[in-house]
A and B are shown apart, each in its own frame.
Chain A
Amino acid sequence: MRSSFLRILVLALIISSLGVLSIYSSTYQKEGTPWQDIHMRQMLWILIGLICFFIMAHLNYRRLWDINYLIYGVAIFFLLLVFGLGIIRLGAQRWLKFAWFNFQPSEFAKLAVIIFLARYFSRKSADDISLLSGKFGIFRGIILPFIFVAVPMFLIIEQPDLGSGLMLLLVFVSLLYLTNVRLKYIIALMFIIMLPLPFFWHFLRDYQKQRLLVFLNPNIDPLGAGYTVIQSRIAIGSGGLLGKGWLSGTQSQLFFLPESHTDFIFATFSEQWGFLGSSLLLLMYYLIIRQGFIIAGRTQDSFGRLLAYGISLLLALQVFINIAMNMGLAPVVGLPLPLMSYGGSSVLSTFIALGILVNIDRTRSVF
């Protein structure tokens, strides 16, 4: 029990330290104060994240069950705020400006939705303490929770943040799969979602269409939408077996690679540390996620179990989509790499999620 706490803490610390190193390497040559101390800010966020991690690790996660509607409500509130401000300012916006930092509600909304879903599917029958989800029909098993997911999803996609929105959908589908909801309902839901996809094409913004087309063939627009993917692939590939060495990555340090400290930090890292470093990083991510699955597997409490699965899945999907997008295997959707990419909200929400995970393992013996 202690070991899962330590393992997750150590892994998360190593990964986020590598993140700071990569952020430093990709920004230290830029001029101007916001760039010069950006790695210090990230370290500060990691520090705050660690505090949150310890707090969440010691706060009984069952409290989340109680305040679950509140969390969901607050998340929706912030998303609406971003949405409203976006309409007022006539411009897309994903974050709220606070005193000295930008707050990105979608990062927390993902967590809130997972907590909500975990609670929804782990309600028990008052009569025989069996899980209600097994008896759910199509409405209560699929449609109702989908509505609860669809509201924040819609708000996030409208920001526009297609990546995070789809992430919610993916986590929702995989959580459905883990509960006792019948398979045919899930397939029906998927079918319903897939069916109007061609129709949705027209609702996508121009740049989103561009990105999808470019994903299929980056060379149709090598200096425009395809530029990032091409440069990112060059960055990763040019690392070779051992990499170019820290602070010697030409792609990221000479600014050929855009967003080299946020969404494309994996390319930055991979250029400098090569195949060996990158596969070790992948291994560490895998170990954290595996730890999550182990915790979920040995938790008796169905809320805790679903929550642990949800958090692990969220982490796994974000890591996968981000790295795949770095390698040009997935379309560019604007998703940060958890723990590594620069960004307070992402770091904070990831540490909170990991804290919850650890706490689930700590308190499972209570029952």
Chain B
Amino acid sequence: MERKHILRFLIILMFVALLAGLLNLDLLQGAKFRRLSDSNCIRLIAQSGARGNILDRHGQVIVDNKISYDVLILPQELNQLDRILSGVSRILGVETKELKDAFRSNYISSSIPVTVAGNIDLKKAVLLGEYKMEEPSIIIQPRPLRNYPYGALASHVIGYVNEIDRWRLTKLEDYGYKTKDIVGFGGVEEKYDYYLRQEEGGLSVEVNHRGKFMRVLGFEPPVNGKDVQLTLDLNIQKIAEDSLAARKGSIVLMDPQSGQVLALANYPNFNPAVFVSKRTRLISGLFNNPDAPLINRATSSSYPPASVFKLVVASAALELKKINLSTSFLCRGWTMIGARKFSCWDVHGAQDIVAAIAHSCDVFFYKTGLLTGAQNIHDYALKLGLGRSPGFELPYETAGFIPSPLWRKINKFQNWFDGDTANLSIGQGDCLVSPLQAAGMMAVFANGGYLPSPYIIKAVGGLDLSAKKRKLSRVDFKKSTFEIICRGLRAVVADARGTGNVLAGLGVKVAGKTGTAQVSRGSTHAWFVGFFPFDNPKYVICVLLENGGPGHAACVVARQVIEAMNKRNLI
């Protein structure tokens, strides 16, 4: 071949090589280089929307957001940065060094604006906005922060917000959660985080090779989270918290017809605002407090139900025809079961079922319990919603516990004795019930045979969920059983010697059952579980005072609540 042909061939080869190179860069690796090119010149400035508000049943705000402002700066050359930071420090009245330190510690990468100051007020934000005319690389970003106008009110229902932790992040990564996201912890904030959560929008801006702002490319408005409306009544909630008045314990008010929780108060409680303002000392104080202020006692703690449990024994015995209205036992202040002496708290004399409930006679229920049998008592407790999760919406609810001979045999390899039955009959021993469960049980007697599953979310994002949430399961006791027990419950208050007599004469007919739970250490827990008005029950109330003394103490608190509600025409 001639040399010139070879040369021509080589030239063609060169151009083919160039074409192949173009093909490789443009088409095979085009997407990658496009991304690289974009990351060169496009900076994303995230803008967060507001987390959804939490409202009470009448639409009053319990938790909302306030706007605070952050100052961000686009990373760029050092000498320029110095100039900008000194300008910002003049306006904010903060030392330049402080801002520089903040810049250094918050710097992530050259493509992400750096927060140099947070939480500045509106006036300074406006001043900085003017300074932005000169230095367009300053970004002032409004950031909604959680705002709690009522402080610690209903704190256990609401929960708090904080930066996502590692455990939640691994669980929620697939749902679009990222590190440093603010998520709910405890209460509605945690359980309904997915709805309350805002969607991040943002600004994409173009910068040149020095990081200087060129123009805005696009803006995606952030989407606010959905509002969550609770069944809570702010007025009743306030009354409940005021009545609890710094006594350890909890108060639950529920609508017996639907299961809506109207008030849920616990003490000790906490102010969720400390998590927003990041006051580390206060936060660690909350976690280290031996009284566990973060625990929602009404749903997450369980206590021995004591005499409140006698209602279970009574209904089991009546249903199984072990006793009837005319059955009566003599209370001499004690009785022998096996070789052990079981005492009553008083000497009641001859007691029928109504009187025994009214006076909370232990002897009557020892004997009734022995007639009924422990396994039957266990089964009826479960029918009344004890010993199993009520399926409430707040996280970390407890199922409580009701022992039975079978359980004892299987789990502890121990036999069940009559003494155990006697103990169970007065709600002591291994038996544990949460205040919410006690209120649920009382609702069955209040509404005449339906066990409600309690709920607290009325609507999410304006969509009413009550119809969906309202679940009543039939408790198929005889009508007479309810009648007899309700007579007893009324007698607790109405009878001059009834344990809840302090609740009489309030202008509203109250019925209920007291309880005094013995605990291994410290003073007894005080219970009062009841409903009112007696003829047309609208509220179920459960008061529990942890180490609060005898049941009488709980009755006094319940009286305060009912009095205050009556005064404000809430009944």
Contact = CB atoms under 8 A, between A and B. Distances in A.
A282 B22 contact: yes
Given A293-B8, A293-B11, A234 B40 contact: yes
Interface in B200-258: 206-210, 214
A336 interface: no
Contact of B25 (A236, A250, A316): A236
B464 to A, nearest CB: 50
A275 interface: yes
B214 A237 contact: no
B325 interface: no
Interface string B30-41: 111110111011
A297 interface: yes
Nearest to A305: B4
Given A250-B41, A293-B11, A255 B30 contact: no
Interface in A242-301: 250-251, 254-256, 270-271, 274-275, 278-279, 282, 285-286, 289, 293, 296-297
Contacts of A274: 26
A254 B27 contact: no
A141 interface: no
Interface in A210-227: none
Contacts of B37: 234-235, 237-238, 250-251, 271
Interface in A170-214: 174, 177-178
B15 A286 contact: yes
A329 interface: yes
B4 A251 contact: no
A118 interface: no
A177 B10 CA distance: 13
A278 B208 contact: no
Contact of A238 (B17, B36, B210): B36
Given A178-B4, A237-B34, A323-B18, A254 B41 contact: yes
Contacts, number: 113
Contact of B26 (A241, A254, A313, A323): A241
B interface, over-half SS? helix
**Which among B34, B36, B37, B207 has the highest number of chain A CB atoms within 10 Å?**
B37
A184 to B, nearest CB: 14
Contacts of A250: 37-38, 40-41, 206
Nearest to A257: B209
Interface in B11-26: 11-12, 14-15, 17-19, 21-23, 25-26
A174 B7 contact: yes
Contacts of A6: none
B3 A237 contact: no
Contacts of B41: 250-251, 254, 256
B162 interface: no
A254 B206 contact: yes
A329 B27 CA distance: 17
Interface residues of A, number: 40
B305 to A, nearest CB: 71
A274 B27 CA distance: 9
A282 B26 contact: no
Contacts of A324: 17-18, 21
A254 B11 CA distance: 35
A279 B34 CA distance: 19
Given A178-B3, A254-B208, A255-B208, A238 B8 contact: no
B29 interface: yes
A285 B30 CA distance: 24
Contacts of B208: 254-256
A316 B26 contact: no
Contact of B36 (A234, A282, A323): A234
A279 B22 contact: yes
A234 B37 CA distance: 6
A293 B3 CA distance: 13
A147 to B, nearest CB: 23
B30 A233 contact: no
Contacts of B30: 237-241, 275
A296 B32 CA distance: 43
A309 interface: yes
B214 to A, nearest CB: 7
A238 B7 CA distance: 34
A235 B209 CA distance: 13
A190 to B, nearest CB: 15
Among B4, B12, B15, residue most surrounded by chain A Cβ atoms (within 10 Å): B15
A176 B206 CA distance: 53
Given A177-B7, A250-B37, A237 B25 contact: yes
Given A250-B37, A254-B206, A289 B25 contact: no
Contacts of B207: 254
Interface string B517-547: 0000000000000000000000000000000
Contacts of A46: none
A320 interface: yes
A327 interface: yes
Contacts of A278: 22, 26
A231 B209 CA distance: 11
Interface in A296-338: 296-297, 309, 312-313, 316, 320, 323-324, 327, 329
Given A233-B33, A250-B37, 12 more contacts: A233-B25, A237-B34, A238-B33, A240-B31, A251-B40, A254-B40, A255-B208, A256-B41, A270-B22, A275-B30, A289-B11, A323-B21
Interface of A: 174, 177-178, 231, 233-241, 250-251, 254-256, 270-271, 274-275, 278-279, 282, 285-286, 289, 293, 296-297, 309, 312-313, 316, 320, 323-324, 327, 329
16 contacts: A236-B33, A237-B29, A237-B30, A238-B33, A238-B37, A239-B26, A240-B27, A240-B31, A240-B34, A250-B37, A251-B41, A254-B214, A279-B19, A285-B15, A286-B15, A293-B8
Q: Which 6 A-B pairs have the closest CB atoms?
A: A237-B33, A238-B37, A275-B26, A254-B208, A237-B25, A240-B30
